[in-house]
């Protein structure tokens, strides 16, 4: 009886496999093709080990000298250099099959790793290569630079400033940028009056350039961005903003359009309270970059859930009051540091009233109105004392 049942099950499995073979074959062929192409391109292009800079004849290193920039940085120019990025956690820059340290970048769990741990050394470069017979300056950073306003302003654009002291940006043929899908990306590049052709890593992940130019990471410590970047952003963008625009000086930032979740579950009740205190609600994606800069520069007090919009604290006047709302599961200090650099009156309000979520980074949460009222009263009293 049992043998008969096993035989029946076996026959069912065989029939299912035979029936599905026509459907499975194309997928199997595609996977086999991807694997063989990946193996071929890795064999052809991928770096095999890390070299010290002085071993690489086709790598020129120039050190950045600027009154604005105190930290040591380098700019690397690699003749016939290659670059591959996974658009997430690593960028591999290579020359003569060697990984170029400094120019390459690898990240995991919030830490920049040594070049020996760059995944390209084990995974290779599983994509065909695009060739540019001219110069390419890479502004690439980690995956957040593809879409996140903070990482765009603090990790991507400052590379232009690093290069300005050692080369003429206008003479570079192409800029390799993380992405161009978002409004703030096009707007900030236009505001910088850049004349270069643009390449998006969304379309080109693997390239070889006649002259490949790469910088050290300008902001390696995410939690404490360098003062020079704050000053450069203010000097570069504030003069371009129309500060005659009139916004309410009491600002609540909503996150209804956030790609990372982290929304306020009782936002309607929170804003109803804040509205009674004279606040207006703003969705930053409805504003241009220059309008956001103007909004924050004019603000007397700003309240909102932690998110990339707080990057605009960069443009606030000193003594602007800030209340940043957090869940207890995710409390990064980056905007507190920007606030300190700009001499703002900063406080945070942390809650344990959190909605279940796969990631603490994206968890939605509620804020106690009593706690918010207490924080608001304290901040306003401090400003009058």
The DSSP code sequence of 123-191 is H---S--EEEEEEEEE---SGGGGT-HHHIIIIITHHHHHHHTTS-GGG--EEEES---SHHHHHHHHH
Q: How many helices (H) and strands (E) does the chain have?
A: 10, 16
> What pTM, to 2 d.p., does this model score?
0.87
Q: 241-384 maps to which CATH number?
A: 3.40.50.2000
Task: State the pLDDT confidence band at 15, using cuts at 50, 70 and 90.
Answer: low
Query: What is the pLDDT at residue 262?
Result: 85
Q: Which two tokens stand for residue 26?
A: 């194309």
Mean pLDDT of all residues in 324-344: 96
Question: Looking at the predicted structure, is the pLDDT value of residue 139 above 80?
Answer: yes
pLDDT band at 104 (very low <50, low <70, confident <90, very high): very high
What does the pLDDT read at residue 127?
Answer: 73
The answer to whether the CB of 379 falls within 8 A of the CB of 339 is no
- Residues of each domain in the chain carrying CATH 3.40.50.2000: 241-384
Instruction: pLDDT band for 44, please (50, 70, 90 cuts).
Output: low
> Which stretches of 238-356 are DSSP H helices?
267-276, 289-298, 334-341
Is residue 5's pLDDT more than 70? no
DSSP one-letter code for 281: E
CB 237 within 8 A of CB 315: yes
Catalogue the long-range contacts made by 177-181 (C-beta closer than 8 Å, 24 or more residues apart). Answer: 177/139, 177/140, 177/201, 178/87, 178/139, 178/140, 178/141, 178/145, 178/146, 178/152, 178/202, 179/145, 179/146, 179/147, 181/147
pLDDT at 222: 85
**Residues 51-93: tens digit of each pLDDT:** 899 889 999 999 998 888 989 999 999 999 999 999 999 999 9
Residue 201 predicted with pLDDT over 70:
yes
**How big is the CA angle at 34 (ends 28 and 37), to the nearest 5 degrees?**
135
């Amino acid at each position: 009886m049992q043998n008969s049942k096993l035989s029946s099950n076996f026959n069912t499995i065989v029939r299912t496999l035979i029936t599905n073979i026509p459907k499975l074959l194309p997928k199997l062929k595609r996977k086999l093709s991807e694997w063989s192409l990946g193996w071929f391109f890795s064999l052809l292009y991928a770096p095999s080990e890390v070299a010290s800079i002085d071993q690489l004849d086709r790598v020129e290193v120039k050190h950045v000298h600027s009154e604005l920039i105190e930290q040591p940085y380098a700019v690397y120019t690699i003749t016939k250099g290659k670059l591959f990025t996974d658009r997430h956690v690593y960028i591999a820059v290579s020359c003569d099959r060697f990984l170029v340290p400094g120019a390459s970048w690898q990240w995991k769990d919030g830490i920049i790793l040594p070049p020996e741990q760059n995944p390209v050394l084990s995974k290779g470069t599983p994509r065909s290569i695009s060739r540019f017979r001219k110069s390419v300056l890479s502004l690439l950073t980690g995956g957040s630079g593809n879409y996140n306003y903070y990482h765009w302003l603090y990790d991507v654009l400052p590379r232009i400033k690093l290069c300005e002291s050692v080369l003429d940006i206008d003479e570079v043929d192409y800029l390799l940028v993380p992405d161009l899908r978002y409004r703030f990306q096009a707007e900030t590049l236009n505001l910088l009056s850049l004349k270069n052709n643009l390449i998006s890593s969304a379309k080109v992940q693997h390239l070889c350039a006649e002259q490949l130019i790469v910088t050290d990471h300008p902001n390696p410590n995410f939690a404490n961005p360098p003062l020079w970047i704050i000053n450069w952003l203010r000097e570069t963008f504030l003069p371009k903003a129309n500060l005659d625009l009139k916004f309410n000086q009491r600002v609540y930032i909503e996150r209804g359009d956030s790609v990372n979740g982290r929304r306020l579950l009782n936002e309607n009740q929170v804003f109803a309270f804040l509205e009674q205190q004279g606040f207006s609600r703003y969705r930053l994606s409805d504003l241009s970059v220059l309008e956001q800069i103007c909004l924050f520069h004019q603000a007397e007090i700003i309240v909102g859930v932690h998110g990339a919009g707080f990057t605009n604290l960069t443009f606030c006047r000193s003594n602007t009051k800030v209340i940043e709302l957090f869940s207890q599961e995710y409390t990064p200090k980056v905007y507190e540091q920007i606030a300190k650099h700009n001499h703002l009156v900063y406080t945070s309000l942390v809650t344990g009233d959190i909605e279940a979520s796969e990631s603490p980074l994206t968890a939605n949460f509620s804020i106690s109105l009593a706690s918010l009222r207490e924080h608001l009263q304290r901040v306003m009293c401090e400003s009058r004392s």
